[in-house]
Amino acid sequence: MHVIELNEHWCKGCRVCVFHCPTKSLRIASRFTMRGIHPPELVEAERCNGCRLCELLCPDFAITVMEAVSVNA
Amino acid sequence: MSGLLKLKTAAELRQIYLRHEMFPTIFCDGCGLGNVLNYTLWALDELQLDLDRTVFVSGIGCSSRLSGYVNADGMHTTHGRALAFASGIKAAQPDLNVIVFTGDGDGSGIGGNHLLHTIRRNMDLTVILVNNFTYGMTGGQVAPTTPIDSFSTTTPYGNIEYPLDICALAQTLGAPYVARWMINQPYPPIKSIAQGIQKRGFALIEMLVPCPTAYGRRNGLKQLETIWQWYRDHTILIDDYEHIMHFGSPEERAALHDKIKIGVFQDYERESFEERWATLVEQVKL
């Protein structure tokens, strides 16, 4: 299980992460950020395999992929 | 979401290597220059290079903004003269790691003569030459690398000049490390930049970067998906290219004529300027 953390001040909504995602688990959100752009969001958290391609391909250093570790584990 | 978050290294990388007050970047939507910086930082992290002993030099242009984002000493120099300044830094302080960010117009057009003579001299520099086929910052004028028949501000009826192959030029001049990569795949450029930094002598890494605003808009590649896919479709690995040229059918070989070769073209050892200079000083000193 993975989550993405987005730096909304740095993201410019260029969609490079969305169309490069191999599992198609990202999409453009309908909400606006403070900069007035539509940010990417993780819709299929189960489908995301944590390959971190979005993180490596982000031209604005805005995405971080993180693994959600259970407290009880 | 319940659970603790385990921090991966990418966020830490940004914390160490970037100047946060410079962000967000100035680059357009779909520009790959940020990726070039990203890959360079991963390469620096892989080598565990000391940022206090690393200098980033750049000329003028979109690509030359990159040195400002790194939390290391840097120089933003005059147009096309980044290699001349970098040679000076390296000659004065040979133990510094010097990384040069330059563009195709800056490095091969305006500073083409400096490129020739820095390679000939074999200075120990790592040059990351970002090729976006145009002069992006000044509004999309024709550059020496603009492909034939493509449109730009100064060639509204199509470019009639043949483009310059920078990697072939560097190979001919005997640069010890020459590579070209596109930015759609992260790991080959990261590895290549790390190899280039470790190389004693001139290392040229040409990065093919999409420019949807200045180049793509005039050549039917305005959409981000289209221009990023164009680079996938129009590049071929050097190993595959040679394989098809040897064993392929005539049709397969004919399909290669408009493709750009990517990969490591040259990798050998050659005595650098600093080593020869140190030997000379030993010989002639009183």
Distance CA B123, CA B274 (A): 7
Instruction: Give the C-alpha separation, B24 to A12, whole Å.
Output: 8
Check if the beta carbon of residue A32 is closer than 8 Å to that of residue A12: no
Nearest to residue B177, comparing CAs of B45, B269, B95? B269
In A32-62, which positions are buried (b, 16+ CB within 10 angstroms) versus exposed (e)? ebeeeeebbebeeeeebebebbbbbbbbbbb
Sign of CA dihedral B101, B39, B182, B266: positive
- Residues from chain B that touch A51, judged by Cβ atoms under 8 A, are none
Query: What are the pLDDT digits (tens) for B115-138?
Result: 999 999 999 999 999 999 999 889
Asked if A53's CB is within 8 angstroms of B186's CB, the reply is yes
Task: Name the β-bridge partners of A42.
Answer: A26
* A19–B24 C-beta distance less than 8 A: no
pLDDT at B281 > cutoff 50: yes
C-alpha distances in Å from residue A25, one per residue of A11, A18, A21, A65, B228:
18, 8, 7, 13, 19
Q: Which of B7, B24, B39 sits opposite A9 (nearest CB)?
A: B24
| Whether residue B8 has pLDDT greater than 80 | no
Provide the pLDDT confidence category of residue B205 given band limits of 50, 70 and 90: very high
Closest CA to B174 of B114, B122, B238: B122
Distance from C-alpha of B277 to C-alpha of B108, rounded to nearest angstrom: 27
Chain B neighbors of A12, CB-CB under 8 A: 24-25, 29
Percent of chain B with pLDDT over 70: 97
ipTM, two decimals: 0.90
Could you tell me the two tokens for B210?
Answer: 């999409």
Q: Which of A60, A64, A70 shows the shortest C-beta gap to B34?
A: A60
Collapsing DSSP to helix, strand or coil, B68 comes out as helix
**Treating both helix axes as pointing N-terminal to C-terminal, what angle do B33-47 and B187-198 enclose, rounded to 10 degrees?**
60
Topology of domain B29-223+261-284, per CATH?
Answer: Rossmann fold (3.40.50)
> Does the beta carbon of A46 lie under 8 angstroms from any beta carbon of chain B?
no
Check CB contact of A34 with chain B, cutoff 8 Å.
Answer: no
Any chain A CB within 8 A of the CB of B249? no
Q: What is the mean pLDDT of residues B59-74?
A: 91
Residue B279, Cα to own-chain centre: how many angstroms?
31
Q: Do the Cβ atoms of B74 and B52 come closer than 8 Å?
A: no
| B250 has pLDDT over 60 | yes
What pLDDT shows up at residue B5? 43
Q: Does domain A2-67 have CATH number 3.30.70.20?
A: yes
CB contacts of A71 in chain B (<8 Å) are 2-4
Strands B134-135, B235-237: pairing is unpaired
Element of type H or E holding B85: helix B82-92
